Amino acid sequence: MRPGDGSSERSGEPAGRTLRLGLAAALVLFALQSAIGLIAALGFDSYDSVMDLDRNNGVPDLLSTAAILAAAVGAAVLGRARTRGRWRAAALSLLFSVVALADLAQQEAGLGDLGGVSVLIALVASALLILAVARDAPRGVGLTLVIGLFLLALAVRMAYEYDQFLNILGRGDQERGDLDYELGIVLKQGLEFLGWSFVAVGMWATAVAARVRGAERDSDLAPSMPPSLRRGPKLRRARTIPRAFAAGRKR
């Protein structure tokens, strides 16, 4: 992350607004989906509704996919706003799109088949490029991207570690409909959604900061340009007397 100078502080203001609004929306959605999922499971014994947190391609699952697609679009916007590091943003946009399609197809990352290996490579490459983008982003934005990666890493291990935690407490026989079990589902799905949301918001905030810096750079260069270039080339004045008539007068 770059040290703060006057330009980065000015570009950080709209990026900070984007960050605050995006993270607030993500937290509200997380709270809503968690509450609805718990009410459906514990209050109505509904384990296969579209609001079920553990259902493939249910509403909560699709929200996570939408967050990945939002990150892909944000990376594409960043690529258009930047000249330096444009290839990283373009690669991130492509990788995020691959991960989103794999998520829709319920293709898990792993070493068992070619599809799983492809998703694993896409995720690892995405993580490395996100860290590279975070290094050049404004401080708060870069931290948001790193937190997003950390949450996604936690989500990968959450199901296993939570089961081990229940075994330690002597509650390893919990199943759907039990509060302890449902809280584990809330944590896993919530970490995945928040992780991708933090990444998406961070990408958009980085793109906003890059666009602001680009506009400031263009405005700073404009006064130093020669007046002829600022006003554009002079046009030749059109003749008001027909050529033939003018030639006759000369004779």
Question: Where does the pLDDT of residue 224 fall: very low under 50, low under 70, confident under 90, or very high at 90 and above?
Answer: low
Per-residue confidence (pLDDT) for residue 91, from 0 to 100: 95
CB under 8 A, 24+ apart: contacts of 105-112: 106/56, 106/57
Task: Give mean pLDDT, residues 14-18.
Answer: 89
pLDDT band at 12 (very low <50, low <70, confident <90, very high): low
pLDDT class of 198 with cuts at 50, 70, 90: very high
pLDDT of residue 235: 45
With beta carbons less than 8 A apart as the criterion, state whether 145 and 203 touch.
yes
The structure tokens 């390893």 sit at 172
Query: How far is C-alpha 115 from the chain's CA centre?
Result: 23
CB 175 within 8 Å of CB 181: yes
Helix (H) / strand (E) containing 23: helix 6-38
| Residue 115, both tokens | 């599809």
The predicted model gives 221-225 an average pLDDT of 53
Q: What is the pTM of this model?
A: 0.81
Residue 47: what are its φ and ψ, rounded to 5°? -110, 0
What number is the average pLDDT over the span 226-241?
48
Per-residue pLDDT reduced to its tens digit, 69-80 = 999 999 999 998
Long-range contacts of 56-59 (CB under 8 A, 24+ apart): 56/106, 57/104, 57/106, 59/33
Q: Tell me what the mean pLDDT of segment 179-184 comes to.
A: 90
Mean per-residue pLDDT of the chain? 83
